[in-house]
Amino acid sequence: MPKGSNQKFKLYRLAEIMLEKTDDEHYITMSEIKESLEEYGITADRKSLYADLKDLEVLGIEVEGEPVKNKYHYHVINRPFELPELKLLVDAIQSSKFITEKKSNTLIRKLEKLVSKYDAQKLQRQVYVSGRIKTMNESIYYSVDAIHNAITENKKIKFQYFQWNVKKEMELRHGGSYYHISPWGLSWDDENYYLVGYDFEANMIKHFRVDKMLHIALSDENREGKEHFNKLDMADYAKKSFGMFGGKEQTVKLLVDNTLAGVIIDRFGKNVIFYPVSETQFTVNVDVHVSNQFLSWIMSLGNGIKIIGPEVVCEQMKAEILRLQKQYS
């Protein structure tokens, strides 16, 4: 290929060079820029390069030149993401349970392209989270996208739903039949995505773990159940559902030691009202879906918390304790 035949790619290659080889700590001289362009078969003189560096601003790439001794050193400034922001994103990707290891590596490589090759090395981190097991379902990203598309287009979706059996095999629920659900939102709870939707046949709101949904497809039918979701606060729904386990929603009264005030706030938010009953305890009313998961959460906090109402929930707790006693006797 004749020298200079790639001239039409000059501005593109210049942008690539500046983005890859420079940052706040690494600079490049005009001579080095010319040498780098020549590696692509592109020739340039100093005068045209000054204009080209200015033209990069049109592409959103701002280049600054600083005099160092008898030379000017150039580098890219004001990138879309600062390095600490990208480190935060990388840590979030690596520690996220629902993102597979393969997809994590792919996403991080894409993020590395947003910084210089020097800063990219600083993004090659490893975050270890105790007890964290990456999902095995690579299709979850496309499932989430399909659900968002259905919500945007106001359409129902159909899908199959599975559970793992003791042989570690996928076992389709519902006899393998498709679920037909009106999707209204996605919830994030305990490191998992959940679809929250309306089931017309059951006339109720249901939730499904997205990584257990298979063969999602949009329906020609419009969504139903809008009146139910107009009354629903999605964040509040997730907060009330422990581990997204179902159960009847009830207002439960708790007697709590002051030392567990932070635990209550972390779970139910700062808007809950504490009613002091002594110097060491308070009561609080919380709205929850009463399930075995909720009862287990209460038990996990030891003798610092107690359900004191309503009576039906107290009886549920007693029954669960008796069941556990029999199971381990």
Compute CA distances 263 → 236, 254, 270, 281, 314, whole Å. 17, 13, 11, 14, 21
Mean local confidence (pLDDT), 2-14: 76
Amino acid 49: pLDDT: 92
pTM of the entire predicted model: 0.55
3-class DSSP assignment, residue 106: helix
Q: What are phi and psi of 201, to 5 degrees?
A: -60, -40
- Domains annotated for the chain, with CATH where assigned, are 7-77 (1.10.10.10), 143-232 (2.30.30), 242-327 (3.30.70)
With CA atoms as reference, report the closest residue to 216 among 197, 240, 241, 201. Answer: 197
* pLDDT confidence of residue 70: 83
Cross-strand bridge partners of residue 156: none
Return the structure tokens found at 312: 């039906």
| pLDDT at residue 6, rounded to an integer | 76
Alpha carbon 57 to its chain's center: 33
Whether the bond between 2 and the residue before it is cis, its omega within 30 degrees of 0, is no
Tokens (6 digits) for 9: 């790619």
Q: Dihedral of the CA atoms 93, 94, 100, 101 (nearest 10)?
A: 140
What's at 144, amino acid-wise?
V
Residue 40 has pLDDT above 70, yes or no: yes
- Where helices occur in the chain by DSSP H, the ranges are 10-21, 30-38, 46-55, 83-95, 101-112, 117-122, 140-153, 226-230, 234-240, 261-268, 292-300, 311-327
Q: Quickly count: other Cβ atoms within 10 Å of residue 305's Cβ.
A: 19
pLDDT digits (tens, 9 = 90+) for 242-264: 554 556 778 999 999 998 898 88
Helix (H, G, I), strand (E, B) or coil at 180: strand
Question: CA 270 to CA 242: how far, in whole Å?
Answer: 18
Distant-in-sequence, close-in-space partners of 85: CB < 8 Å, separation ≥ 6: none
* CA end-to-end distance (rounded Å), the chain: 84
pLDDT at 73: 93
Q: Model confidence at 1, in pLDDT bands (50, 70, 90)?
A: very low
* Confidence band for 131, pLDDT divided at 50, 70 and 90: very low
Cβ-based neighbours of 203, under 8 Å, separated by 6 or more? none
User: How sure is the predictor about 236, in pLDDT bands with cuts at 50, 70 and 90?
Assistant: low
Q: Tell me, what's the pLDDT at 122?
A: 84
Neighbours of 130 (CB within 10 A): 4
* DSSP H helical ranges for 113-198: 117-122, 140-153
Only one residue has tokens 């601003």, namely: 57
Q: How confident is the model at residue 99 (pLDDT cuts 50, 70, 90)?
A: confident
DSSP string, 16-44: HHHHHH-SSS--EEHHHHHHHHHTTT---
- Say which residue the tokens 């500046």 belong to: 18
Please give the residue that has the higher pLDDT: either 17 or 187.
17
Query: Could you tell me the pLDDT band of residue 130, with boundaries at 50, 70 and 90?
Result: very low
Q: What are the DSSP calls for 38-52, one per residue?
A: HTTT----HHHHHHH
Query: Which phi and psi (to 5°) does residue 315 adopt?
Result: -65, -35
Per-residue pLDDT band for 2 (boundaries 50, 70, 90) equals: very low
User: Is the separation of the CB atoms in 172 and 242 below 8 Å?
Assistant: no
Q: Average pLDDT in the 269-297 region?
A: 88
For residue 221, give the DSSP letter. E
